[in-house]
């Protein structure tokens, strides 16, 4: 059960605002160097990636375009259901484009391996994956990200876009949720 305010439900801060800012700037610099002379298309996978996307794009200094896709796989639980649904598709064609898929977390890999397959079939020039968080201990699909912000342990993380039951996305840091919030008694 949730408490009276968001911060009360956080057991501890895993990644601070300062650490996020520094690492996102590093990723932006890396992408700017890798895509120098190109015009990458950044595809944000909603909803979890919206804050990372906003900060990452502002730290990339080459020309870039943005587009958005919404998928759902978790429902309100904490374990992936394995089922991926496209709720909102991209607005424009990606044919011949250098696509960077931007995610908040790579967990089982189910969502991303499905999405990459869907996007590959649309014939982009290239496709890479940038994820803020990587939880390799939970991977069930053989997928790795090209750009990783932080490798995290198997804890229930929220904030900076990541939710539990659609709440906590607006926390400015990545925190570990108190188990009493999601455990049924
Ligand atoms: C989260 C996250 C990824 C997916 C990763 O999305 O944004 O899309 O789970 O998990 P996986 O590697 O096990 O597939 P979620 O379904 O929670 O939706 P959200 O982005 O709206 O929070």
Low-confidence ranges of the chain (pLDDT < 70): 74-83, 185
- pTM value? 0.93
For ligand 1, whether the C-beta of 105 sits within 6 Å is yes
Mutate to test the pocket of ligand 1, among 76, 78, 107, 152 (most ligand atoms within 8 A of CB): 107
For ligand 1, whether the C-beta of 73 sits within 6 Å is yes
pLDDT the model gives residue 72: 80
For ligand 1, whether the C-beta of 103 sits within 6 Å is yes
What residue owns the CA closest to ligand 1's atom 2? 105
Report DSSP state, residue 150. E
Read off the pLDDT of residues 68-81 as tens digits, 9 standing for 90 and up.
999 887 555 555 55
pLDDT the model gives residue 75: 52
pLDDT the model gives residue 2: 85
pLDDT the model gives residue 74: 55
What residue owns the CA closest to ligand 1's atom 4? 111
Q: Do 115 and 45 touch, CB atoms closer than 8 A?
A: yes
Read off the pLDDT of residues 46-59 as tens digits, 9 standing for 90 and up.
999 999 999 999 99
- Cα 175 to ligand 1 centre (Å): 16
* Strands 10-15 and 85-88, bridge-based pairing: unpaired
DSSP codes joined into one string, 52-104: HHHHHHHT--S--EEEEEEEE--TTSSS--S--EEEE--SS--TT-EEEEEEE
Read off the pLDDT of residues 12-30 as tens digits, 9 standing for 90 and up.
999 999 999 999 999 999 9
For ligand 1, whether the C-beta of 43 sits within 6 Å is no
For ligand 1, whether the C-beta of 98 sits within 6 Å is no
SS3 for 180? helix
- Cα 34 to ligand 1 centre (Å): 26
Q: Do 153 and 137 touch, CB atoms closer than 8 A?
A: yes
pLDDT the model gives residue 82: 62
């Amino acid at each position: 059960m949730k408490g009276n305010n968001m911060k009360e439900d956080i057991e501890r801060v895993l990644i601070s605002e300062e650490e996020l800012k520094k690492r996102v700037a590093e990723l932006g610099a890396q992408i700017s160097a890798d895509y120098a002379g190109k015009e990458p298309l950044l595809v944000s996978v909603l909803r979890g990636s919206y804050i990372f996307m906003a900060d990452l794009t502002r730290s990339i200094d080459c020309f870039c375009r943005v587009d958005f896709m919404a998928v759902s796989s978790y429902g309100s639980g904490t374990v992936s259901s394995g089922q991926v649904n496209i709720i909102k598709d991209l607005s424009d064609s990606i044919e011949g484009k250098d696509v960077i898929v931007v995610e908040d977390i790579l967990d089982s890999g189910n969502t991303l391996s499905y999405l990459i397959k869907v996007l590959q079939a649309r014939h982009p020039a290239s496709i890479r994956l940038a994820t803020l968080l990587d939880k390799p201990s939970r991977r069930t699909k053989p997928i790795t990200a090209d750009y990783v912000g932080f490798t995290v342990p198997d804890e229930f993380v929220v904030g900076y876009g990541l939710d539990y039951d659609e709440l906590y996305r607006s926390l400015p840091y990545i925190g570990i949720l108190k188990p009493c919030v999601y455990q049924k008694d």
